[in-house]
Amino acid sequence: MTVFQHRLFRPALTLVLSTPLLAACVGDPVLQQLSTLTSGQKAYAPTLPPAPIPTPVVGTRYYYSNGVTERVTAVGGDDVTWINNRRHKQISSRDFTIPEKFVETTTRDYNRVLHGAPGALWPLGVGNTSRFTVINHVKLKGAKKDTKYVQRWQCAVDGTERVRVLAGTFDTYKVECKRFSPTFRFYQKRTWYYAPEIGQYVRREDYYKYPGKTYRRELTAVYSILPGVATPIRREIRKTFQVALENHKSGVPLTWRDKKTGAATTVTPVLTYKAASGAFCRTYRQSITLNGKTHLYPGVACRESRLKWVIPRLAQL
């Protein structure tokens, strides 16, 4: 029996489909809200080894709960080039705590010059600190001159924490950075939760003194467009992903391997729940091995029809 019958997802029926009926078919509980996983739980501080500075992989796409997606288009030395779903280009350091070196939008360009030693944080370890200054140059498209302002940053690795986000559960380093004016007037606090397992932060919280609000974005999924991978192998990797989410119970992996090239993938559904939109979604963990290197791509996907599971851009989940 497949996990989801095709007709179960028809709009007319999703409104009346009962949780017990779906649970009986899936073989594991269906949560009505993902937040129930962490309600009432105390924060757990795992013991983590020192974490090296991340090296993003070209073709990897990161989905976030605020609707933003960012794709790695180039990696050279310390520089990582990204493009997001708004077609904005940015060049950043492999050290995610440093503001982007260059950002190009439709209306303006940002160029930043760094002074200091933020690298003191790495490899990440509890108690590590860094200080650096960023000189910002902002230029409107078509303008002859740019605007210049200075930011002072202080960062510290405050500890470790196990966190639950839409993409799954991760053991993370908690890194807190504070931004000040040239006269050390406090303006902003940015907190990162970095998961060494995937080489990426899974949660970022920004508190601004003015207007006194906190903004958060969480990782929804990590996905690879598999650049340069032969079409037959790419097809089997995608097929394994769809079949695992459609047919396998939570905790039961599905593996595909190509004996000739060594390419392989394993997809393990983690849990099933019903989204606020009425869609049925599953969190999962997918590993992909290519050219002898294995990378983890966790996330959440929602069912649109039989064998059509997609990563949602907006996380009303």
pLDDT tens digits for range 22-42: 443 455 667 666 655 554 456
Give the CA distances from residue 194 to residues 61, 173, 198, 226, 286, in Å, rounded to whole numbers and listed in that order: 17, 5, 9, 24, 19
The pLDDT assigned to 152 comes to 96
CB 177 within 8 A of CB 97: yes
SS3 state at 234: helix
In order of their start, the domains of the chain are 6-31+226-310 (no CATH), 60-222 (2.40.360.10)
The predicted structure's pLDDT at residue 15:
25
Query: What 3-state class would DSSP assign to 122?
Result: coil
Mean pLDDT of the chain: 87
- Place 197 in a pLDDT band, splitting at 50, 70 and 90: very high
Residues 194, 51 contacting (CB under 8 angstroms): yes
Q: Is the pLDDT of residue 133 over 70?
A: yes
Give 219-273 pLDDT, tens digit per residue: 999 999 999 999 999 999 999 999 999 999 999 999 999 999 999 999 999 999 8
Q: In this predicted structure, what is the pLDDT of residue 316?
A: 52
Do the Cβ atoms of 160 and 174 come closer than 8 Å?
A: yes
In this predicted model, what pLDDT tens digit does every residue of 48-100 receive, in sequence order? 999 999 999 999 999 999 999 999 999 999 999 999 998 999 999 999 999 99
What are the DSSP calls for 238-280, one per residue? HHHHHHHHHHPPTT--EEEE-TTT--EEEEEEEEEEE-TTS-E
Q: Largest Cα–Cα distance of the chain, in whole Å?
A: 66
Q: Would you state the pLDDT for residue 4?
A: 44
pLDDT in tens, 263-301: 999 999 999 988 877 888 999 999 999 999 999 999 999
Instruction: Say if residue 123 is preceded by a cis peptide, omega within 30 of 0.
Output: yes
Q: What is the pLDDT of residue 121?
A: 95
Per-residue pLDDT, averaged over 205-217, amounts to 95
